């Protein structure tokens, strides 16, 4: 803006003359970026000596240490021991505590479902005059190849410490029900069994679910029930560390991920789902140990959970038990949570568009830029919007070339420097584009051109993902209004204040989003965080303009001065990449993940190695050499894009199928079998039933009906987790006269001892997937045609 104005000979004051003023202006805004990101960070851990009514991360951590000493996957002895210890702890705290023994089923689709034998720990803290139930949920099982310190012993321990603190304070009005679910990792089946069959689940209620998808970072309220306005307001009022954005809710709703909370939502509960998600490299691996859990994350999670439990525990829950009229928009601003009703989203987006239009018209009125020229500026602004995220993504690809071990990872072990480098790359692209065009096109035209896209995005998001519209609408509104004022009041001072205000609004809105996008989608999808960083950089253009030499000083030396601005960002990017490479060296402490499974078909004696790595790493590639699909459908592997290779057949017995009864009654064929594993440590038994030319119309496993959505076809696949030593008793109802066959598959964990398997060298560890190191053994049993009779 100053460039064109001075061309018109406007009055020039010099409060911010020269590059020093520009540096101060940009430094103020970068300071605000730092402040915005810093206020997201969790607080220091509170020691165990803190007053009893307070949440202490150190006290909670003692529970983590006890629960996460070893792998405690659903159905294991270790998990059973944890269940006993959880019951003892909650009982000692004075809660009426029971174990719900049940079978849950979830994930049903035509022809398939997942089921599990579950043991949920359910404890009640009765209220004085209940208006409803508040459910505090976390899952007590871990994955099969890690002790689950963060996921989700941290959540369970947070709830133990929370109810201890609640008991130390005055009694609450509402019932508080602690639900520590089983088999979340396997199939969310513990939550399903609770929601569908537990008497305390009748009538619904409000759920606070606590989770982790990493070992550090702020706990983020990332998912809510629909119609979240009232709950968001409650969270904003009560949570001492309110890190939440309504955009996360939109993103999460679009992703295929699930937690126990998904089950509760489907059953009509309302509530909030919180997780800390940074430090994803250790997630679901043997490195998810207590020592890696950041106690500050635990403290923030506990502070929020305790405050929310006190608030929701004492107010009338009746309105919160059902969805509010709409969703709210909310986002963190310097340590608080700004929130307003969703009905303001469209007015705000329209106001932003009008403000940008007003800015464009003012430029036209002042003869600075015609409307076609403004549209040209908008077209040019597409360049950084596309190129900067691409460059950020290219940085990750470059890092993978330098460190091939990064290829299968969502995020490196210590991504901090790389994230800074990504932001510097974005700044370099935007500033280079700006430096090349500002003299020819004009700073104001480029600024308004960028704002056009912010305004457009505000509208597009309002239509498609309303909770995210604020990210573009507020910066567009601020940029439009301040640009309009600065255009109509030509003075370098006004321009500086306008740049500061619009930069500040964009910063407090967008900087936290960038900081939260990095861990959420990882550097592997670095373009996502980079896109929002690009929006921020574009909104900061009026401030960056003050760093560039003024046109009336044009000369050879100013060319160098202009190049210095993007040049600084390039240097910063290079320095940050170098620092990241130095800090994040891969090795035994920071291993490379390797995903490998083994499958044996005893019908044919054939065996295979299989990996879900898209481009198998050096170690995995010792076992897999092609992409030939497996001829048999195995749990976790069926339908996956697999790298495979031949393996030697191990001397492992397939599960034993014992027919119990087979009869025809009223036109239906009823088949009953017992499927039992003959191997120790089996985590799952899968049943794959085929009725040639017929239909499977009913099925029960361990007394629990298979959901109707899975039935009706000629084939039924059920993966049954935590089967126990007796195995699975299954009953099927089949229509049709064709032959029936049953393929039984069992799965255990650990590849050592298999023929041809060499243990992974130091620095390579089993990847954090549910199929890592899984050993699957299958056999087919013919159940023949229906008996005559």
- Residue closer to Zn ion by CB (options 151, 773) is 151
Contact (Cβ atoms closer than 8 angstroms) between residue 695 and residue 94: no
Here the tokens at position 744 are 């039984």
- Residue closer to Zn ion by CB (options 183, 657) is 183
- Residue closer to Zn ion by CB (options 258, 327) is 258
CB of 149 to Zn ion, least distance (A): 11
Distances (CA, A) of 500 to 28, 106, 264, 541: 8, 52, 45, 10
CB of 275 to Zn ion, least distance (A): 8
| Nearest Cα to Cα of residue 781 among 596, 612, 656 | 656
Name the site residues for Zn ion (rule: CB under 5 A): 151-152, 211
CB of 69 to Zn ion, least distance (A): 18
Q: Is 81 exposed, middle or buried (0-12, 13-18, 19+ CB in 10 A)?
A: middle
HSE-up (13 A, CA, CB side) for residue 311 = 19
Cβ neighbours around 435 below 10 Å, total? 20
Distances (CA, A) of 421 to 216, 394, 415, 518, 533: 21, 12, 10, 12, 12
- Residue closer to Zn ion by CB (options 141, 773) is 141
CB of 80 to Zn ion, least distance (A): 19
- Residue closer to Zn ion by CB (options 669, 683) is 683
Judge if the upstream peptide bond of residue 320 is cis by omega within 30 degrees of 0.
no
CB of 165 to Zn ion, least distance (A): 23
Q: Tokens 């340590």 belong to which residue?
A: 335
Name, in order, each residue with C-beta under 8 angstroms of 191's C-beta and a sequence gap of 6 or more.
Answer: 104, 106, 137, 139, 179, 181, 184, 260, 261, 263, 264
Cα 484 from Cα 528, distance rounded (Å): 31
CB of 396 to Zn ion, least distance (A): 26
Cα 456 from Cα 453, distance rounded (Å): 5
Cα 785 from Cα 789, distance rounded (Å): 12
CA angle, residues 294, 298, 299, in degrees to nearest 5: 115
Sign of CA dihedral 405, 407, 410, 414: positive
> 302 — phi, psi (to 5°)?
-70, -45
CB of 154 to Zn ion, least distance (A): 9
- Residue closer to Zn ion by CB (options 59, 213) is 213
Helix pair 155-168, 295-314: axis angle to 10 deg:
50
CB of 508 to Zn ion, least distance (A): 32
- Residue closer to Zn ion by CB (options 284, 524) is 284
- Residue closer to Zn ion by CB (options 151, 161) is 151
Tell me if residue 186 falls in helix, strand or coil: helix
- Residue closer to Zn ion by CB (options 151, 688) is 151
Q: What is the CA radius of gyration of the chain?
A: 30
Cα 232 from Cα 224, distance rounded (Å): 8
CB of 276 to Zn ion, least distance (A): 11
- Residue closer to Zn ion by CB (options 211, 545) is 211
- Residue closer to Zn ion by CB (options 272, 699) is 272
CB of 191 to Zn ion, least distance (A): 11
CB of 785 to Zn ion, least distance (A): 45
Helix pair 295-314, 57-67: axis angle to 10 deg:
110
């Amino acid at each position: 803006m100053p460039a064109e104005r001075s061309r018109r000979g406007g009055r020039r004051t010099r409060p911010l003359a020269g590059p020093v003023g520009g540096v101060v202006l940009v430094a103020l805004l970068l300071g605000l970026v730092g402040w915005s990101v810093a206020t997201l960070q969790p607080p220091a851990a509170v020691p165990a000596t803190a007053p009893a009514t307070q949440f202490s991360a150190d006290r909670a951590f003692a529970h983590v240490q006890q629960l996460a000493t070893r792998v405690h996957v659903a159905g294991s002895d270790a998990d059973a021991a944890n269940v006993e210890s959880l019951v003892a702890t909650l009982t000692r705290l004075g809660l009426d505590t029971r174990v719900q023994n049940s079978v849950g089923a979830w994930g049903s689709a035509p022809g398939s479902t997942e089921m599990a034998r579950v043991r949920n720990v359910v404890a009640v803290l009765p209220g004085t005059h209940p208006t409803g139930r508040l459910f505090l949920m976390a899952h007590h099982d871990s994955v099969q190849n890690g002790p689950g310190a963060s996921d989700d012993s941290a959540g369970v321990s947070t709830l133990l410490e929370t109810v201890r603190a609640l008991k130390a304070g005055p009694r609450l009005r509402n019932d508080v029900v602690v639900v520590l679910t089983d088999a979340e990792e396997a199939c969310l089946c513990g939550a399903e069994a609770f929601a569908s069959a537990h008497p305390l689940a009748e009538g619904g209620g409000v759920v606070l679910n606590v989770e982790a998808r990493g070992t550090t970072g702020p706990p983020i309220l990332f998912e809510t029930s629909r119609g979240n306005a009232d709950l968001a307001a409650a969270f904003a009022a009560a949570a001492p560390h309110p890190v939440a954005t309504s955009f996360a809710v939109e993103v999460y709703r679009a992703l295929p991920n699930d937690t126990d909370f998904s089950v509760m939502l489907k059953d009509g509960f309302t509530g909030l789902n919180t997780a800390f998600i940074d430090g994803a490299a250790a997630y679901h691996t043997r490195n998810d140990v207590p020592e890696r859990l950041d106690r500050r994350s635990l403290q923030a999670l506990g502070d929020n959970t305790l405050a929310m439990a006190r608030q929701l525990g004492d107010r009338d829950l009746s309105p919160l038990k059902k969805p509010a009229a709409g969703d709210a928009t909310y986002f963190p601003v310097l340590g608080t949570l700004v929130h307003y009703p969703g009905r303001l989203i469209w007015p705000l987006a329209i106001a932003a568009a009008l403000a940008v239009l007003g800015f464009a018209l003012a430029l036209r009125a002042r003869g600075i830029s015609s409307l076609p020229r403004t549209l040209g500026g908008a077209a040019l602004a597409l360049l950084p919007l596309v190129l900067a995220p691409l460059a950020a993504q290219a940085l990750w690809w470059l890092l993978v070339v330098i460190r091939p071990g990064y290829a299968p990872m969502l995020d490196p072990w210590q991504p901090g420097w790389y994230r800074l480098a990504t932001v510097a790359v974005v700044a370099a692209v935007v500033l280079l584009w700006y430096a090349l065009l500002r003299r020819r096109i004009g700073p104001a035209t480029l600024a308004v051109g960028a704002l056009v896209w912010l305004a457009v995005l505000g509208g597009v998001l309002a239509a498609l993902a309303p909770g995210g519209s604020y990210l573009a609408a507020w910066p567009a509104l601020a940029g439009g209004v301040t640009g309009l004022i600065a255009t109509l009041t030509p003075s370098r001072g006004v321009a500086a204040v306008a740049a500061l205000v619009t930069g500040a609004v964009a910063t407090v809105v967008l900087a936290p989003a960038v900081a939260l996008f990095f861990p959420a989608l990882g550097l592997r999808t670095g373009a996502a965080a980079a896109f929002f960083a690009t929006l921020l950089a574009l909104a900061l253009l009026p401030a960056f303009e003050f760093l560039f030499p003024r046109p009336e000083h044009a000369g050879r030396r100013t060319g160098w001065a202009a190049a210095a601005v993007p040049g600084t960002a390039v240097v910063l990017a290079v320095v940050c990449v170098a620092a990241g490479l130095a800090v994040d060296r891969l090795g035994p402490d920071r291993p490379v993940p390797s995903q490998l499974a083994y499958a044996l078909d005893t019908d044919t004696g054939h065996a295979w190695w299989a990996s879900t790595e898209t481009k198998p790493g050096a170690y995995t590639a010792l076992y897999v050499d092609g992409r030939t699909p497996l001829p048999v459908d195995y749990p976790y592997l069926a339908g996956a894009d697999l790298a495979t290779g031949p393996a030697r057949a191990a001397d492992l017995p397939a599960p034993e199928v014992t027919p119990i009864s087979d009869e025809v009654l009223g036109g239906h064929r009823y088949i009953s079998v017992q499927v039992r594993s003959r191997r120790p440590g089996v985590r799952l038994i899968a049943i794959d039933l085929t009725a040639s030319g017929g239909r499977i119309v009913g099925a029960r496993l361990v007394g629990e009906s298979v959901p109707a959505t899975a039935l009706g076809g000629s084939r039924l696949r059920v993966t049954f987790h935590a089967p126990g030593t007796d195995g699975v008793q299954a009953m099927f109802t089949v229509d049709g006269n064709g032959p029936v066959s049953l393929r039984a598959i069992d799965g255990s964990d650990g590849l050592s001892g298999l023929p041809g398997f060499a243990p992974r060298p130091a620095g390579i560890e089993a990847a954090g997937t549910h199929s890592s190191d899984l050993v699957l053994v299958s056999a087919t049993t013919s159940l023949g045609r229906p008996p005559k009779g």
